[in-house]
Amino acid sequence: MASRTVAFLGLGAIGRPMAARLAHATGISLAVWNRTADRAASFGREHGARVASTPADAARGADVVITCFPVSPDVEALLDGTDGLLATMASGTALVDCTSGDPATSRRIAARLAERGIGFLDAPVSGGTSGAEQGTLTVMVGGDAAVLDRVKPVIEAFGKKIVHCGPVGAGDALKSVNNALLAVNVWSTAEGLAALAKAGVRAEVALDVINASSGRSNASMNLFPERVLTRAFPRTFRVALLDKDVGIAAGVAREQKVPSPLIQLTAELFRMAHMELGEEADHVEVAKIIERWAGQEIT
């Protein structure tokens, strides 16, 4: 591809390996910024990107700015001021927001950038930190298809399946529903396996059968065997973020006036789990709450 200058803002659990893919892609000159400067410095040492001191320092001169923060308002907060993205990004460039964001805030951001001739795509990702490391993420994109065509070669550094879903906000909406399904599966798998363990069926046996049957899911095929049965519970995706995602899905359903008792209940369950487990716990650790209620470990 023609050479591009890219800025990546937000080197968190998923942002860091995505940015690493860009750092090692041919034809991309990368600048990175992170709120906690040490993390950006260590990224620069490891991957050789330019380490910027502010978001504006990263974005100045960039063809594409990529953001990956917890929530959309974190992105919106970078727009204004003399050092804001609106003042530093040039007309004809694009902001690609890989945050799992909310559609209304994304639409507001897009409208403000459009006034300056800057493109915007909501482009949340799925596939976890391992998918980011391997460059196999699914990227669900909302916004102008012509902007996507322009930036696709950049997204391809970390994305394998890149799908244009509709106007701005469509990517966010789809991502939130995907994660609501993930949440339902994690929660219901934990309940089912705890009940089976109490009834004398070992979790390994139960998963062997379920994974060759119609109840299987990513939770039963990957998350529970790798994280719960091993008791490893690695911290790759915070329950706080899944709480946020299911909350967005619940809002989308309410806004569209679609009866959604299961999604609303799941949002409430994950809000409680987030409060109980705290900010740093992984999403799969909700299984520990169910184990406690059941008085039964999932083994």
Smallest distance from the beta carbon of 202 to ligand NDP, in angstroms?
29
Residue from 24, 50, 61, 70 touching ligand NDP (CB under 6 A): that is: 70
Looking up tokens 């529970």 gives: 224
φ, ψ of residue 134 in degrees (nearest 5): -85, -5
Residue from 88, 105, 106, 126 touching ligand NDP (CB under 6 A): that is: 126
Residues between 86 and 125 with contacts to ligand NDP, criterion CB under 6 A: 99-100, 125
Number of CB atoms found within 10 A of residue 267's CB: 23
Smallest distance from the beta carbon of 161 to ligand NDP, in angstroms?
14
Size of the site for ligand NDP (CB under 6 A): 25
Residue from 12, 135, 169, 247 touching ligand NDP (CB under 6 A): that is: 12
Helix/strand/coil for 139: strand
CA distance 131 to 221: 16
Residue from 6, 10, 190, 288 touching ligand NDP (CB under 6 A): that is: 10
Question: Among residues 102 and 197, whose Cβ is nearest to ligand NDP?
Answer: 102
The two structure tokens encoding residue 67? 């953001």
Helix/strand/coil for 16: helix
| Strand pairing class (137-143; 125-126) | antiparallel
CA distance 198 to 165: 43
Does 13 participate in binding ligand NDP (rule CB under 6 A)?
yes
**Catalytic residue (one of 160, 175, 198, 288):** 175
Does 69 participate in binding ligand NDP (rule CB under 6 A)?
yes
Does 68 participate in binding ligand NDP (rule CB under 6 A)?
yes
198 is catalytic: no
CA distance 146 to 150: 6
Query: Of the listed pieces 63-71, 147-155, 252-260, 290-298, which binds ligand NDP according to CB under 6 A?
Result: 63-71
Does 142 participate in binding ligand NDP (rule CB under 6 A)?
no
Smallest distance from the beta carbon of 111 to ligand NDP, in angstroms?
21
DSSP annotation of 285 reads G
Does 144 participate in binding ligand NDP (rule CB under 6 A)?
no
Does 35 participate in binding ligand NDP (rule CB under 6 A)?
yes
Residue from 3, 26, 36, 214 touching ligand NDP (CB under 6 A): that is: 36
Output b/e per residue, 163-175; b: 16+ Cβ within 10 A. Answer: ebbebbbbbbbbb
CA distance 242 to 238: 7
Q: Which residues belong to the active site?
A: 175
